[in-house]
């Protein structure tokens, strides 16, 4: 991904090694925890949304095979959204959508686990919920683009 420009000058692109800390800060501010940042950055599976080279959003992918998910994901290929977050000042401006769209454009298939309170975000992006609530209360959804 070379860097797709979205609304309000937002550019979505793969995160660089120098941006690992910025990715962590965005995720930490949203109270999201993931151990996958360094590996995702190294593999090219971490994305940032930037405005004037300032990171305002981040998305981290992991292989779906590495996720302890519901039976509905068994045998699925593709990647799993381990974390996605946008800075407080940029929420509601399409940055999260741009990040997910950028990852989906490259991967063609994504899964995600999320708190049901943010389900409308994933519904609006075309994700199909496959589990309403697992033992931890998370919903699971998938999205595939036609090839």
| Domain boundaries along the sequence of the chain | 4-112
DSSP-based three-state secondary structure for 13: strand
pLDDT of residue 144: 86
The CATH code that applies to domain 4-112 is 3.40.630.30
pLDDT of residue 61: 96
pLDDT of residue 117: 92
CA angle 102, 107, 112 (to 5 degrees): 80
Which residue blocks in the chain are alpha helix, DSSP H? 20-29, 37-43, 95-107, 119-124
DSSP-based three-state secondary structure for 20: helix
pLDDT tens per residue, the chain (147 residues)? 445 555 568 999 999 999 999 999 999 888 888 888 999 999 999 999 999 989 999 999 999 888 888 777 776 778 999 999 999 999 888 999 999 999 999 998 899 999 999 999 999 999 999 999 888 899 999 988 765
pLDDT of residue 121: 93
What would the two tokens of residue 11 be?
């550019």
pLDDT of residue 7: 58
pLDDT of residue 2: 46
Q: Which residues on adjacent β-strands are paired with residue 128?
A: 142
pLDDT of residue 119: 93
pLDDT of residue 68: 84
């Amino acid at each position: 991904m070379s860097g797709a420009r979205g609304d309000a000058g937002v550019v979505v692109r793969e995160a660089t090694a120098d941006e690992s800390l910025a990715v962590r800060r965005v995720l930490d501010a949203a109270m999201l925890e993931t151990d996958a940042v360094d590996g995702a950055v190294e593999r090219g599976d971490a994305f940032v949304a930037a405005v004037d080279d300032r990171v305002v959003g981040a998305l981290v992918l992991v292989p779906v095979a590495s996720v302890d998910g519901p039976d509905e994901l068994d045998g699925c290929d593709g990647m799993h959204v381990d974390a996605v977050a946008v800075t407080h000042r940029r929420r509601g401006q399409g940055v999260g959508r741009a990040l997910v769209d950028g990852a989906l454009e490259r991967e063609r298939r994504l899964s995600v686990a999320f708190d049901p309170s943010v389900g409308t975000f994933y519904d609006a992006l075309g994700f199909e919920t496959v589990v309403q609530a697992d033992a931890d209360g998370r919903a699971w959804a998938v999205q595939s683009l036609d090839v």
